[in-house]
């Protein structure tokens, strides 16, 4: 008899009404792949909230085990790069969307999707970073490649009490940037300053329709919010600056004009974590190891159990989750 494990499954009925429940599975129930991983830790990202609640069409194969990222130990492998006992991380590649994802005791995936857990990093800490934190690092790398150094001026971070925002602030501050954190939760001022934010602004300053160009306030920005917020960030970016855009917490629209681009040479840098090439992922995780303080990571994350995933998925869409949530799958 193969081992059984619990899995969260989202399903649809004939009327496309979505439901979510917990099922008991064996490895034979998993989708195809050449590596089976025992999932030690996962997390609840914004996208997982969308998948579990059905608020956006994240799931594109039914039924589906959601969960876009995990860290764990290889149990069996037919892939030349991996052997039993290897510690691995997975982010994206369609897991939790088109391929059974992280909210299960085990996952069978393609070995090409895995990267090695950085030396000295635990599965728990990797998921405290999670896809949100790895995406924050991709944003920082994109700004660096654009030549944005701390000497160029402040960097604005939106959605700053959230996962991407909290990790972005921590990394930027450690690298010496002056960080302006935009948040709807000004009550979190102490938390954000503890992560390294130098200034806090109310997100209402950026979330309403604004002028095509405004006062030049920052050299760069990391935006996980989209919509008017992204338009206003662009309009207030200094000459030659850049905005790394990775999210849509306010909306997926972008009601901007060409003015920041053609009069100030501002660049809009698109960030995708899901299909990012392996070399870029490895670079991002290596930089996370060196440029994200363990104490900051501890202060921006909390740990929950498997049974709390579904309620946390609802809470993250309601903007009620601060920082990052780690799911301990072995607890
Ligand atoms: P979180 O929910 O943890 O953070 C989002 C934050 O955005 C909230 O905490 C809140 O911050 C702010 N926010 C929420 N609603 C609104 C609103 N209506 N208007 C303005 N601000 C709002 O999510 P994550 O950090 O995990 O993800 C953030 C975004 O990035 C999501 O859209 C997600 O899909 C996207 N993402 C994209 C990736 C990619 O590959 N491109 C990868 C990972 C995430 P505050 O309370 O401080 O204002």
pLDDT, residue 208, reads 98
Residue 12 shares a structural domain with residue 112: yes
**pLDDT < 70 stretches in the chain:** 1-2
- CATH code where residue 36 lies: 3.90.180.10
Nearest to 66 by CA among 90, 38, 100: 100
At 60 the three-state DSSP class reads coil
How remote is the CA of residue 328 from the centroid of ligand 1, in Å? 22
Q: Ligand 1 pocket, 207 CB below 6 A?
A: yes
Q: Are 300 and 170 in contact (CB under 8 A)?
A: yes
Q: Ligand 1 pocket, 273 CB below 6 A?
A: yes
The answer for 240, left when phi > 0, alpha when psi is -120 to 50, beta otherwise, is left
How remote is the CA of residue 270 from the centroid of ligand 1, in Å? 15
Residue 18 shares a structural domain with residue 53: yes
Mutating to test ligand 1, I would choose from 49, 50, 222, 225 the residue with most ligand atoms within 8 A of its C-beta, which is 225
Q: Could you tell me the pTM of the whole model?
A: 0.96
DSSP states of 136-148: HHHHHHHHHHTT-
Q: Ligand 1 pocket, 162 CB below 6 A?
A: yes
Residue 16 shares a structural domain with residue 91: yes
Mutating to test ligand 1, I would choose from 139, 162, 188, 201 the residue with most ligand atoms within 8 A of its C-beta, which is 162
Nearest to 131 by CA among 9, 278, 279, 285: 285
Q: Ligand 1 pocket, 246 CB below 6 A?
A: yes
Record the tokens describing residue 19, joined without a space.
């439901």
At 197 the three-state DSSP class reads coil
Number of domains observed in the structure of the chain: 2
Q: Is residue 275 assigned to a domain? A: no
Q: Ligand 1 pocket, 314 CB below 6 A?
A: no
Nearest to 191 by CA among 288, 301, 303, 287: 301
Residue in the structure block whose two tokens are 């900051």: 296
Residue 44 shares a structural domain with residue 139: no
Q: Ligand 1 pocket, 130 CB below 6 A?
A: no
Mutating to test ligand 1, I would choose from 247, 248, 284, 325 the residue with most ligand atoms within 8 A of its C-beta, which is 247
Mutating to test ligand 1, I would choose from 159, 202, 227, 300 the residue with most ligand atoms within 8 A of its C-beta, which is 159
pLDDT, residue 56, reads 87
pLDDT, residue 1, reads 64
Residue 56 shares a structural domain with residue 183: no
Omega before 63 cis (within 30°)? yes
Q: Which one of 251, 270, 289 terminates a domain?
A: 270
Residue 248 shares a structural domain with residue 304: no
- pLDDT tens digits for range 11-44: 999 888 999 999 999 999 999 999 999 999 999 9
Q: Ligand 1 pocket, 329 CB below 6 A?
A: no
Q: Domain containing 185: what range?
A: 130-270
């Amino acid at each position: 008899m193969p081992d059984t494990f619990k899995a969260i499954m989202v399903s649809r009925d004939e009327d496309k009404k979505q439901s979510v429940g917990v099922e008991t599975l064996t490895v034979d129930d998993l989708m195809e792949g050449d590596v089976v991983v025992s999932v030690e830790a996962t997390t609840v990202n914004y996208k997982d909230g969308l998948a579990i609640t059905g608020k956006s069409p994240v799931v594109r194969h039914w039924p589906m085990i959601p969960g876009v990222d995990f860290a764990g130990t290889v149990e069996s492998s037919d892939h030349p790069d991996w052997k039993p006992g290897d510690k691995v991380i997975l982010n994206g590649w369609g897991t939790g969307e088109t391929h059974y994802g992280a909210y299960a005791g085990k996952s069978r995936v393609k070995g090409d999707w895995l990267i090695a857990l950085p030396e000295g990093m635990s599965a728990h800490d990797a998921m405290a970073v999670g896809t949100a934190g790895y995406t924050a690092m991709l944003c920082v790398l994109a700004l660096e490649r654009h030549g944005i150094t701390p000497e160029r001026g402040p960097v604005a971070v939106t959605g700053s009490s959230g996962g991407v925002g909290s990790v972005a602030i921590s990394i930027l501050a450690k690298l010496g940037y002056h960080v302006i954190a935009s948040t709807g939760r000004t009550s979190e001022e102490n938390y954000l300053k503890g992560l390294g934010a130098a200034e806090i602004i109310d997100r209402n300053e950026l979330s309403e329709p604004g002028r095509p160009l405004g006062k030049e306030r920052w050299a760069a920005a990391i935006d996980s919010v989209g919509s008017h917020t992204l338009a206003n960030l662009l309009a207030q970016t200094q000459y030659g600056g850049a905005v790394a855009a990775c999210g849509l917490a306010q909306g997926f629209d972008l009601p901007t004009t060409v003015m920041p681009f053609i009069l100030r040479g501002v660049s809009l840098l698109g960030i995708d974590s899901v299909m990012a090439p392996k070399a870029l992922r490895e670079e991002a995780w290596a930089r996370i190891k060196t440029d994200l303080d363990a104490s900051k990571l501890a202060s921006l994350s909390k740990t929950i159990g498997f049974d709390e995933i579904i309620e946390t998925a609802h809470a993250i869409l309601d903007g009620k989750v601060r920082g990052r949530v780690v799911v301990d799958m072995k607890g």
